Amino acid sequence: MTDDSGVLSIDFIVGFTIFLIAFIWVVSLIPGLLINLQGFTIDYDAVAYRTGVILVEDPGWPQAPVSPWESKIDNDSVVRFGLAISSDTPNILSQEKVNRFFCTTATTAFPLPFIYRVDYKEKAIFGDYPYRFNISLRDVERNANQSIGDVLPEGYGYIRRLVKIKGGSNATIDGYNFKNTDNNVTSHTFSILINTPNLYTNMTDLFYQIDPARDQIMINITNLSKMNNNITLTGITVVGNSPASSLQYTLTGNTLSLDNQIKDNTNPLDKFPQHVNDTISIKFLPSYFRGDVYNGVLDEQYYQPIYINLSFKLGSNSTFLNNSWSYPFDYNYDPANVTQPQLRDAVVEVAVW
Amino acid sequence: MVSGDGGQLYTIEGFAAALIMIITAYLVVNATSVYTAGDTHINDMQLEALGTDALKMMDTPVSSDVPSPLAEIITYTPVGNMNATFKTMFMNYTNVSGAGPIHDIQFNATYICRKDPENSITIYPLASSRNLTGGEHTVRATKWVIVDKAVCEDSEKPRAVLVEVLLWRD
């Protein structure tokens, strides 16, 4: 052929086809490369970090003093989880908030436990993506682990935060040291003063503050049998801003234990009067002071001192635990009276995938 | 061979072009992972948060009647000396076992104080798990600590020093 212009040769078709196949193959690689660069792990790490900050540095919402999220009976009214004791104390966690956050076991009493994943996603993880996650807290000192969520997969976004948990305070009162001198009576009263305004002003550092509205308080009275062998505890009244009321122990989560036996106010046999051999232990949850004793008080500056009065009736006249003619036992910052709140090391880990 | 075939493509050119593209794609795919600025930021952030938390925990006394462990370490360590307690405590905090990945963290800690009349700063070593060679990708965690020590000045009085820890992963 002499004039071959405009004619495709077989060589050209073969070469162009090879080029085209290679070109299409390389182009098809590009989306894969971009997916790797975008990487979901980046997103997961960021979500884990955000969740870690919310849990460790924020007290949640609603927050104290009125009705913090950890005391809400209605789980739907909890807007946001947060374990810090206040927004001014990042990394210092409240034991009460930790207990409530990690409690998933069903109980007959309110408040009901939160439900994984729905509640935790709405109130701690946030976002529209259906994340799976695991949030754990390791109490280093007690060597105890608590966790919420699924079993960890191979790859996940992760953050670890070091924290301290604020423990409650407690007082052990040797009853024999507080007996009166009058041995001609059978009725005795012992008063304990929790002077909340003084507790707030004498220790402004929230880390170590004894705060009946935020932390658990425990009072143990021992050695009663040394003074009399027929003791009846006729009642316990607690006075704060609200009028004096009888202690409703187990109904509000508090515990009254006599000689190591826990009393349940819902049981008619466990109501006052109660026989006591040697010891009385009373555990007050912060929700009790906040909800009952300081009921309706919207500002902490209006909190009044709390008086806890224990009334006893003896089988025979004798000296006994009685400070009605002197001063009430002061639950204060004196280490001789009260074991002060302590901070324990813990680790919060958040994994998201 | 036909005449007037200038500018035509042949099989060999097609092969050559395809080969070049495939080799290029192979090199790109097999190159070291390309990290965007966002990626490295996440890793750095995790380490920085951990280091900052560790310093904060070391400077928080367990109760109101005991001093801060970090302030005590700085106060009672002779100037210029390394402190083994800081090393143990910091390593315990940063490598404490949990449910997460293994933590292979190294650190180098110093503290910095300001000399008042000269308005200059002096850096003192505090503890180190390994010497810095310069090739490490480090992040910085800092904490202001109040100590009662004659450092940077002759008189012993409360002053603020800046504890600075460089952290990196092996």
* Distance (Å, whole) CA B91 – CA A30: 43
Residues A213 and A333 in one domain: yes
User: Which residues are registered as beta bridge partners of A232?
Assistant: A275, A313
Range with lowest mean pLDDT among A41-55, A137-151, A162-176, B87-101: B87-101
User: Which residues are registered as beta bridge partners of A162?
Assistant: A347
Q: Is A24 within a domain? A: no
Give the model's confidence band at A213: pLDDT under 50 very low, under 70 low, under 90 confident, else very high: confident
pLDDT at position A270: 85
What percent of chain A shows pLDDT beyond 70? 92
Q: Is the pLDDT of residue B95 over 80?
A: no
Residues A94 and A241 in one domain: no
Write down the pTM of the prediction. Answer: 0.77
Give the model's confidence band at A6: pLDDT under 50 very low, under 70 low, under 90 confident, else very high: low
Average pLDDT over residues A148-157: 87
* Distance (Å, whole) CA A350 – CA A343: 22
Residues A152 and A234 in one domain: no
Residues A176 and A321 in one domain: yes
Give the model's confidence band at B112: pLDDT under 50 very low, under 70 low, under 90 confident, else very high: very high
Number of separate domains in chain A: 2
pLDDT at position B53: 93
Burial of A154 (0-12, 13-18, 19+ CB in 10 A): exposed
Of the candidates A156, A167, A145, which has an alpha carbon nearest to the alpha carbon of residue A48? A156
pLDDT at position B33: 59
Print burial letters for B79-116: b (CB count within 10 Å at least 16), e (below 16).
eeeebeebbebbbebbebebbbeeeebbbbbbbebeee
Q: Is A212 within a domain? A: yes
Top mean pLDDT of A3-7, A78-82, A320-324 is at: A78-82
H/E element holding A49? helix A40-57
Residues A199 and A145 in one domain: no
What percent of chain A shows pLDDT beyond 90? 25
CA angle A344, A44, B28 (to 5 degrees): 135
Residues A148 and A178 in one domain: no
Q: What residues of B are in contact with residue A14 (Cβ under 8 Å)?
A: 11, 14
Given an 8 Å threshold on Cβ–Cβ distance, is B13 in contact with A17?
no
Site of tokens 């990487």 = A39
The token duo for A193 is 């003063």
Average pLDDT over residues A342-348: 92
pLDDT at position B97: 54
Secondary structure (3-state) at A162: strand
What is the domain extent for residue A315? 169-341
Residues A100 and A226 in one domain: no
Residues A127 and A223 in one domain: no
Of B8, B38, B96, the CB nearest to A347: B96
The token duo for B42 is 């996440």
Site of tokens 């001192």 = A305
pLDDT at position A28: 83
Of the candidates B141, B132, B157, which has an alpha carbon nearest to the alpha carbon of residue B54? B141
Binding-face residues of B in 85-104 toward A, CB within 8 A: 93, 96, 98-101, 103
Contact between A304 and A242 (Cβ < 8 Å): no
Q: What residues of B are in contact with residue A203 (Cβ under 8 Å)?
A: 64
Q: Is A260 within a domain? A: yes
Q: Is the pLDDT of residue A161 over 70?
A: yes
Give the model's confidence band at A23: pLDDT under 50 very low, under 70 low, under 90 confident, else very high: confident
* Distance (Å, whole) CA B114 – CA A8: 82
Nearest CA in chain B to A341: B63
* Distance (Å, whole) CA B129 – CA A33: 39
* Distance (Å, whole) CA B115 – CA B161: 11
Residues A122 and A174 in one domain: no
pLDDT at position A243: 74
Alpha-carbon Rg for chain B, nearest whole angstrom, is: 28
Residues A246 and A336 in one domain: yes
Q: Is A296 within a domain? A: yes
User: Which residues are registered as beta bridge partners of B162?
Assistant: B112, B144
CA angle B24, B27, B30 (to 5 degrees): 145
Residues A162 and A176 in one domain: no
Residues A136 and A125 in one domain: yes
Average pLDDT over residues A93-106: 83
Q: Is the pLDDT of residue B28 over 90?
A: no
Contact between B159 and B85 (Cβ < 8 Å): no
Q: What residues of A are in contact with residue B48 (Cβ under 8 Å)?
A: none
Select the more confidently predicted residue: B14 or A278: A278
Q: B49 CB near a chain A CB, below 8 Å?
A: yes
pLDDT at position A106: 54
What's at A76, amino acid-wise?
D
Top mean pLDDT of A9-13, A117-121, A274-278, B23-27 is at: A274-278
Q: What residues of A are in contact with residue B21 (Cβ under 8 Å)?
A: 22-23, 26
Nearest CA in chain B to A17: B14
Average pLDDT over residues A93-107: 81
